[in-house]
């Protein structure tokens, strides 16, 4: 990945190139002003917007492992640096500004596996290992109790008692793993939000 200095120049260069194409001359940086750009010395990553299906390019500027700025990718042919309000607001998924303008993590992001036990009126935190084991046991129990191996003389390898919803939020690789899991364990109540 490019270091900030280069990426900043690249950004500036991209803007200048676009400007040249449309015949617009930008005023050069003033020598009298020594105003630093706040994305100086950040690492620049290219990513794809997480919202609608257009698939716009988004640049994330990262300093010390933390996003400090998100804006449209000028090199991306789909959006050419532009973005809608959701695309522009990516930063808010992780961070927000308090009333003094200081960044803080979005307090509503989930950071621990949670469980609400039957009848309980609140969540309790748990460890990943515990959560995965508990879910796997319940999964197996339900599957084994309701499994239909043969029907009408055909091997149908099916359970009707587990529903699984995949997601248009997940990547192709993630959804592909879902498909493999449900196909091997016999889940047929399987859909996602494209049906809605």
Partner 1 sequence: MIDYKNSDVLMNIGGNTAENHPITMKWIEKAREERGAKLICVDPRLTRTGAVADLYVPIRPGTNCAYLGGLTAYILDNNLYHEEYVKHYTNATYLVNEDFDFDNVTGLFSGVEDDPDRNAKAYDQSTWQYQTDEDGEILTDPDMQDENCVLQIMKRFYQAYSLENISEVTGCPIDTLEESYRLYASTGDPEKAGNMLYAMGITQFSHGTQSVRSVAVPQLLLGNIGRPGGGVNAQRGQSNVQGCCDMGILYHILTGYMPVPQRDAHPNLDAYNEAVPEGGYWVNRPNFMNSMLTAWWPEQSLDVAYQYLPKLDGTDRSHIGQYYRMGQGEVKGMICWADNPAVSGPTSGDKRKYQALLDWMVVVDLFENETAAFWKAPGMNPADIDTDVFLLPAAAAYERNGSKTNSSRWIQWQEKVQQAPGEAKSDLWIADKLFKAIRKEYEENGGVFPDPILNMNWDYGEEADSGKVAMEINGYRVADGQLLSSFGDLRDDGSTACGSWIYTGFYSDPDNPATKRRIAEKEGIGLNSEWTFAWPANRRIVYNRGAADPQGNPWNPEFPIFKWVDDQWEMMDVPDFNANIPPEESAESAFIMLPEGKGRLFANGHGGAGGTSNDSPMPIHYEPAESPVDNLLYPQATFNPISQRWYPVEEHFGEVEDYPYIISTYRVTEHYQSGIMTRNMPWLVETMPELFIELHPSLAEEKGIQNGDMVEIESKRGKIQARACVTSRIKPYNVNGNTIHVVGLPWHWGFMGMSQGDVTNDLAPSIGDPNSTIPEYKAFLCNVRRVG
Partner 2 sequence: MANSICLIDPAKCMGCRGCQVACKQWNQLPAEQTTFTGTYENPPRFSADTWLRVAFREHDLEDGNVDWYMAKLGCMHCTDAACMQACPAGAIYRSDEGTVNIDEVKCIGCNYCVTACPFHVIGFDRLTNKARKCTFCHDRLVNGMEPSCAQACPTGAITFGDRRQLINRAATRMDQLKAAGNPNANIYGIDELDGTAMLYVLADNPEKYGLPADPQVPVQTRIWNAIFKPLRILVVVAVAFGLWANRAETKEIEQAKKGEK
Number of residues in contact with partner 2, rule: CB under 8 A? 43
Interface with partner 2, residue 99, by CB under 8 A: yes
Q: Determine the Cα–Cα distance for residues 195 and 73; give it in Å rounded to an integer.
A: 32
Q: Which is nearer to partner 1, 34 or 144 (CB)?
A: 144
Interface with partner 2, residue 71, by CB under 8 A: yes
Partner touching 20 among partner 1, partner 2, none, CB below 5 to 8 Å by kind? none
Residue 149, CA distances (Å) to 97, 123, 167, 174, 186 in order = 56, 37, 28, 28, 9
Among 82, 157, 175, 185, binds partner 2 (CB under 8 A): 82
Return the H-helix or E-strand segment holding 5.
helix 4-22
Q: Which is nearer to partner 1, 30 or 65 (CB)?
A: 65
Our CA angle for 55, 60, 61, nearest 5°, is 165
Residues 6+ apart with CB under 8 A from 76: 46, 56, 57
Rounded to a whole number of angstroms, the minimum distance from the CB of residue 34 to partner 1 is: 30
Residues at the contact surface with partner 2, assessed by CB under 8 A: 8, 11-12, 15-16, 19, 22-30, 32-33, 35-38, 69-72, 74, 79, 81-85, 87-89, 91, 96-101, 103
């Amino acid at each position: 990945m490019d270091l900030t200095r280069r990426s900043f120049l690249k950004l500036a260069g991209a803007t200048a190139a676009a400007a040249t194409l449309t015949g617009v001359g930008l005023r050069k940086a003033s020598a009298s002003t020594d105003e630093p750009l706040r994305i100086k010395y950040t690492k620049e990553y290219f990513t794809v917007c997480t919202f609608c299906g257009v698939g716009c390019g988004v640049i994330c500027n990262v300093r010390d492992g933390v996003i400090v700025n998100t804006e449209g990718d000028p090199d991306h042919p789909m959006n050419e640096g532009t973005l809608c309000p959701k695309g522009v607001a990516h930063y808010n998924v992780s961070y927000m500004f308090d009333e003094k303008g200081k960044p803080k993590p979005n307090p509503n992001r989930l950071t621990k596996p949670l469980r609400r036990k039957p009848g309980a009126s609140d969540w309790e935190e748990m460890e990943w290992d515990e959560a995965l084991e508990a879910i796997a046991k319940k999964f197996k129990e339900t599957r084994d109790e309701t499994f239909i191996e043969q029907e009408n003389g055909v091997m149908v390898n099916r359970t009707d008692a587990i529903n699984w919803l995949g997601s248009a939020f997940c990547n192709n690789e993630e959804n592909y793993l879902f498909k493999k899991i449900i196909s091997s364990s016999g889940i047929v109540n399987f859909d996602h939000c494209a049906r809605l």
